[in-house]
A and B are shown apart, each in its own frame.
Chain A
Amino acid sequence: QVQLQESGPGLVKPSGTLSLTCAVSGGSISSSNWWSWVRQPPGKGLEWIGEIYHSGSTNYNPSLKSRVTISVDKSKNQFSLKLSSVTAADTAVYYCARKIVVALSSTTFYYYMDVWGKGTTVTVSS
């Protein structure tokens, strides 16, 4: 079955750029799913960051949109997250996840995230 694995630096300096990659195994990133990033600050809840389709279409959390870029590399079967101008508030566990979209009609959908990576901790500190 599909498995996801996050990787990237665990420490990023303030004002720098956080860069993470999610490797997809056991399935193709070109399948009809969206690929998401979710984060969780220490002791807090889950926050959706954004997502990408294999075509390159993206959706971002409006509160992070100005700093986020999500890209896909189909040749490597992976997708990536870049978050710029980071501060201590961006310290979190970052998860990647597969999002399934189910169409109930031409205009009505629902979503769920059925596969998650184990998460990677990123600390923003000098």
Chain B
Amino acid sequence: SSELTQDPAVSVALGQTVRITCQGDSLRSYYASWYQQKPGQAPVLVIYGKNNRPSGIPDRFSGSSSGNTASLTITGAQAEDEADYYCNSRDSSGNHGVVFGGGTKLTVL
């Protein structure tokens, strides 16, 4: 089982704001990173660190963190944002491993 917990599915109306969350003990100490994955494609990094976007990622994507919860917010969701979203962070067990959340399927209505 994953040490990072995500809701399996979230939906949002076109143009509205949606928050996707990721919970885990490691997030009290380490930032999460977030990945978007569309069917048949490799994951794409969308948020890393405190709230950083790679070049080419729209500014409607933002990240935040509080306690053991990291959040990815999409402000003004577009149809092309429909995808699976995964968080990842450092393994909380003390080794130097990496762990992914189970993923959230975002549907844009």
Q: Residues of A with Cβ closer than 8 Å to B?
A: 36, 38, 45-48, 51, 59-62, 95, 99-100, 102, 108-114, 116-119
A111 and B89 form a contact (CB under 8 A): yes
B42 and A111 form a contact (CB under 8 A): no
Chain B interfacial residues counted at CB < 8 A? 29
| Cβ-defined partner of B88 (8 Å) among A59, A108, A113, A117 | A113
| Cβ-defined partner of A60 (8 Å) among B42, B54, B97, B102 | B97
Cα of A51 to Cα of B88 in the assembled complex, Å: 15
Cα of A108 to Cα of B2 in the assembled complex, Å: 22
Q: Residues of B with Cβ closer than 8 Å to A?
A: 2, 29-31, 33, 35, 37, 42-45, 48-49, 54, 84, 86, 88-90, 93, 95-103
Whether A46 contacts B100 in the complex (CB less than 8 A), given A110-B89, A116-B43, comes out as: yes
CB-based nearest B residue for A46: B100
Cα of A102 to Cα of B100 in the assembled complex, Å: 18
| Cβ-defined partner of A113 (8 Å) among B2, B31, B33, B93 | B33
Q: Is the interface of A mostly helix, strand, loop or mixed?
A: strand
Cα of A60 to Cα of B102 in the assembled complex, Å: 19
B33 and A112 form a contact (CB under 8 A): yes
Q: Which residues of A contact B2 (CB under 8 A)?
A: 45
CB-based nearest B residue for A48: B98
CB-based nearest A residue for B84: A45
A110 and B100 form a contact (CB under 8 A): no
A110 and B30 form a contact (CB under 8 A): yes
Q: Determine how close the nearest CB of chain A comes to the CB of B85; give it in whole angstroms.
A: 11
A95 and B42 form a contact (CB under 8 A): yes
B100 and A48 form a contact (CB under 8 A): yes
Cα of A112 to Cα of B87 in the assembled complex, Å: 10
A112 and B45 form a contact (CB under 8 A): yes
B100 and A59 form a contact (CB under 8 A): no
Q: Which residues of B contact A119 (CB under 8 A)?
A: 42
Whether A109 contacts B90 in the complex (CB less than 8 A), given A45-B2, A116-B42, A117-B42, comes out as: yes
Q: Determine how close the nearest CB of chain A comes to the CB of B25; give it in whole angstroms.
A: 15
